[in-house]
Amino acid sequence: MVNAGVAGDQLRAIVERIERLEEEKQGIADDIKDVYAEAKANGFDAKVLRQIVRLRKQEPNERQEYEAILDLYMQALGMTFNEEDAARRAEAA
């Protein structure tokens, strides 16, 4: 049973590390939530900010492909932008 004791100690250490990391993750999630609440209090739209953060994580070519498909689908549904809106979106990208 020596092996079970050693494996048990190692397993316990791993589980405890995971638990600590989960606690840290929750703390970070709470901090992010607070930043979004602060942004909202300052007049920013949290939903749009989340989308911007998501888009900034993408590679530029991935983002362009996504936007091209989005535009195609919107055109197919009759939800087109006027030229001024398109120019603003291009500047933002």
pLDDT tens profile 31-87: 999 999 999 999 999 999 999 999 999 999 999 999 999 999 999 998 876 666 666
Number of domains in the chain: 2
Please indicate, yes or no, if residue 49 is contained in any of the structural domains: no
Please indicate, yes or no, if residue 84 is contained in any of the structural domains: yes
Asked if 36 and 64 sit in the same domain, the reply is no
Asked if 33 and 68 sit in the same domain, the reply is no
**92 is in which domain, residue-wise?**
58-93
pLDDT: is 21 or 86 the higher one? 21
pLDDT at 23 over 80: yes
Q: How far apart are CA 52 and CA 37, in angstroms?
A: 16
Asked if 38 and 68 sit in the same domain, the reply is no
Q: How far apart are CA 36 and CA 39, in angstroms?
A: 5
Grade residue 1 by pLDDT with cuts at 50, 70 and 90.
very low
Please indicate, yes or no, if residue 15 is contained in any of the structural domains: yes
Q: How far apart are CA 8 and CA 11, in angstroms?
A: 5
pLDDT at 9 over 60: yes
Q: How far apart are CA 74 and CA 80, in angstroms?
A: 6
Q: Where are the alpha helices (DSSP H) in 1-93?
A: 2-41, 46-57, 60-76, 83-92
Q: How far apart are CA 42 and CA 7, in angstroms?
A: 52
- Mean local confidence (pLDDT), 3-8: 76
Asked if 2 and 33 sit in the same domain, the reply is yes
